[in-house]
């Protein structure tokens, strides 16, 4: 076996190991996002801040402050859970290996197909201001509808 073949096998083994670690990381992220705790955290944040938002094209400066806080809460939770679930994974190193939309490397075929799936899309929507504002407005509308339903159930009668 010549030196070039040996180097190729080591590189393939490293790529294979990196791909396995990336798949593990994505699996953990999926588990975290689908967990009830994450749902409660996200819904609670939306509930606590939705009344500030209005359905207008122009965005208020306050929206960006709430959005930044949202990102800190969500990212903090993801980081904490990933550290708890996979303390041995070198997450920063793995994130640098994620394929970008402009790269067309064939060595990351299984990872790129996972990254283009639902988990990756969910992560993108978590960090998209337009999607965030839409979710806030939907929460606000939902709460207003629930309130109007409650007032329909109330009946005022005189005690005389």
Parent domain of 66: 3-97+107-144
Domain annotation covers residue 39: yes
Q: Is 69 domain-assigned?
A: yes
Q: What is the pLDDT of residues 2-44, one digit of tens each?
A: 555 555 555 556 678 778 877 888 888 889 988 999 999 999 9
Domain-located, residue 62: yes
Helix (H) or strand (E) holding 38: helix 36-49
Where is pLDDT greater, at 102 or 77?
A: 77
What is the maximum span of the chain, computed from C-alpha positions, in angstroms? 102
Find the CATH number of the domain harbouring 123: 1.20.1520.10
The total number of structural domains in the chain stands at 1
Kindly state whether residue 36 falls inside one of the protein's structural domains: yes
Does a structural domain hold residue 156? no
CB 73 within 8 A of CB 41: yes
- The answer to whether position 126 is within a domain reads yes
On whether residue 150 sits in a domain, the answer given is: no
Is residue 54 scored above 90 in pLDDT? yes
Does residue 116 lie in a domain region? yes
Q: Give the angle 138-139-141 at the CA atoms, nearest 5°.
A: 65
């Amino acid at each position: 076996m010549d030196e070039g073949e040996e180097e190729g096998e080591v590189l393939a083994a490293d790529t294979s190991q990196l791909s396995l670690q990336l798949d593990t990381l994505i699996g953990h992220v999926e588990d975290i996002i689908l967990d009830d705790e994450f749902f409660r955290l996200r819904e609670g944040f939306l509930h606590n801040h939705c009344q500030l938002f209005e359905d207008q094209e122009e965005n208020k400066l306050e929206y960006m402050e709430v959005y930044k806080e949202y990102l800190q809460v969500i990212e903090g939770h993801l980081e904490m859970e990933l550290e708890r679930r996979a303390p041995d994974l070198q997450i920063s190193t793995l994130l640098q290996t994620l394929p970008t939309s402009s790269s067309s490397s064939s060595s990351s075929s299984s990872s790129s197909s996972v990254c283009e799936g639902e988990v990756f899309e969910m992560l993108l929507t978590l960090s998209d201001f337009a999607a965030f504002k839409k979710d806030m407005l939907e929460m606000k509308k939902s709460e207003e509808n629930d309130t109007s339903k409650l007032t329909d159930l109330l009946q005022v009668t005189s005690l005389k």
